[in-house]
Amino acid sequence: MPFESRRAKLHLQEQEVESLRAVAGSRSEGFARVQRAGILLAYHRGESVSAIARSLNTNRPKVERCISKALGLGVAAALSDLPREGRPPRLTPEAKAWVVSCACAKPKDFGYSYELWTTRLLSQHIRAHCEEQGHPCLKQLARGTVSKILSQNRIKPHKIRYYLERRDPEFEEKMIQVLHVYKEVQILSESNGNGGLIAILSYDEKPGIQAIGSTAPDLPPCPGEHPTIGRDHEYVRHGTLSLLAGIDLLTGHVLALVESKHRSREFVAFLKMVDAHYADRERIRIILDNHSAHISKETRAYLSTVPNRFEFVFTPKHGSWLNLIESFFGKMAKTVLRGIRVGSKDELKERILRYMDEINAVPVVHRWKYKLDSLSVV
């Protein structure tokens, strides 16, 4: 004899039945949704609450609640938990705001030796001063809760993200001047030359290249024993050298001097080398930074002896990233200078100049692309 229940029957459309079957047979849905889908399908087939509870290894109240939700709110609502009020929040919005305000200040502002907050230090500070600030609910504040509050407000007072302050009031104007030079290089390159009238260089110094020597021979890799080069951790310092270099932006040729220092006299020596190298060119344009040696009395005295020969285009202060040779120096640091060991400064100089010869044997023309397409040609 079919089961007759006083509870209303659950009428489902074919689409709803198929949807419930998909959930009930799913291997990725949550357990509660799978179980509730099975309850509703069984009740739709006419099974009793007790039979459903036994077959699904659950209890009658859970089955009854699921069926009641489906009859009252629909199948979709019965599959999921209804929103509940939950326990009232223990921490007030004002208390959380005060935690955030403390995190946005530095620990040293409160008399601590720390420069940056840790969750331990911040939670200790909050617990020690919350009552006097009118937030006694923070008396038992834990480090994990501090992390949650900071995460909700998207602040990370334990980290530093560096930025570069623009201290040059003429930053935009100087940047546009440099970009116009790069635009000119692009136009000249596309027109296959400049008639031998002008040379354009990107110039800078790389000071402090360390001449480091080993105290014991390096051990080569050995298959099956150690895959890397073995090196004694002790080393000897032989001093430092400075590289003065300029890249011809039209040909990719690198002009370089390696000296012990990079004063005005070394810069003038570089200019004389450039002057001799481009004897067939009428004018030499150089992109460079605002180093004092570039505008010193000694440099200006030399420039007066070769009037209209050089044209300097200065990058903005703290805008050396606009100088294309910086990328060349970066590549150099990651390749030839990476892990280099030498017996003396002279050996380091010889190897740097040998590297320049290798570059010039197969020169690479460097291209500047940032903001160049949006630059108007005047």
**Do residues 273 and 332 share a domain?**
yes
Whether the predicted pLDDT of 328 surpasses 80? yes
Q: How far apart are CA 205 and CA 245, in angstroms?
A: 6
Confidence at residue 376, expressed as pLDDT on a 0 to 100 scale? 54
**Do residues 181 and 45 share a domain?**
no
Whether the predicted pLDDT of 5 surpasses 70? no
Residue 165 covered by a domain: no
Whether the predicted pLDDT of 358 surpasses 90? yes
Which range among 65-69, 80-84, 114-118, 202-206 shows the weakest confidence by mean pLDDT?
80-84
Please report where in the chains the tokens 């910086």 appear, as a residue: 326
**Do residues 241 and 294 share a domain?**
yes
Residue 373 covered by a domain: no
Note down the domain range covering 21.
Answer: 14-79
Report whether 325 contacts 246 (CB < 8 A).
yes
Whether the predicted pLDDT of 1 surpasses 50? no
**Do residues 69 and 104 share a domain?**
no
Confidence at residue 325, expressed as pLDDT on a 0 to 100 scale? 94
Q: pLDDT tens digit string along 167-177? A: 778 888 888 88
Residue 84 covered by a domain: no
Q: pTM for this structure?
A: 0.65
Please indicate whether residue 161 or residue 88 has the higher confidence score (pLDDT).
161
Q: How far apart are CA 192 and CA 251, in angstroms?
A: 11
Instruction: Return the structure tokens found at 48.
Output: 């009793």
Confidence at residue 162, expressed as pLDDT on a 0 to 100 scale? 86
Which range among 205-209, 261-265, 372-376 shows the weakest confidence by mean pLDDT?
372-376
**Do residues 247 and 354 share a domain?**
yes
Pairing of strands 283-288, 198-214: parallel
Residue 199 covered by a domain: yes
Domain boundary among 52, 79, 106: 79
Report whether 183 contacts 191 (CB < 8 A).
no
Instruction: Return the structure tokens found at 280.
Output: 């067939």
Residue 137 covered by a domain: yes
**Do residues 240 and 350 share a domain?**
yes
Whether the predicted pLDDT of 194 surpasses 70? no
DSSP 167: -
**Do residues 21 and 141 share a domain?**
no
CATH of the domain at 295: 3.30.420.10
Confidence at residue 377, expressed as pLDDT on a 0 to 100 scale? 47
Average predicted confidence (pLDDT) for the chain: 90
Residue 224 covered by a domain: no
* C-alpha 43 chain-centroid distance: 56
**Do residues 64 and 180 share a domain?**
no
**Do residues 246 and 113 share a domain?**
no
Percent of the chain at pLDDT above 70? 96
Q: How confident is the model at residue 243 (pLDDT cuts 50, 70, 90)?
A: very high
Residues 242, 246, 251, 252, Cα dihedral to 10°: 40
Tally the C-alpha atoms within 13 A of residue 5's C-alpha that lie toward its C-beta: 15
Report whether 319 contacts 171 (CB < 8 A).
yes
Q: pLDDT tens digit string along 97-130? A: 999 999 999 999 999 999 999 999 999 999 999 9
Please indicate whether residue 175 or residue 274 has the higher confidence score (pLDDT).
274
**Do residues 74 and 97 share a domain?**
no
Residue 7 covered by a domain: no
332-336: long-range pairs with CB below 8 Å, 24+: 332/206
Whether the predicted pLDDT of 159 surpasses 50? yes
**Do residues 202 and 138 share a domain?**
no
Confidence at residue 4, expressed as pLDDT on a 0 to 100 scale? 55
Q: How far apart are CA 290 and CA 12, in angstroms?
A: 79
- How many domains, the chain? 3
**Identity at 247, one-letter amino acid code:** I
Whether the predicted pLDDT of 363 surpasses 50? yes
Residue 193 covered by a domain: yes
Please indicate whether residue 171 or residue 247 has the higher confidence score (pLDDT).
247
Report whether 250 contacts 188 (CB < 8 A).
yes
**Do residues 106 and 145 share a domain?**
yes
Please report where in the chains the tokens 């300029």 appear, as a residue: 246
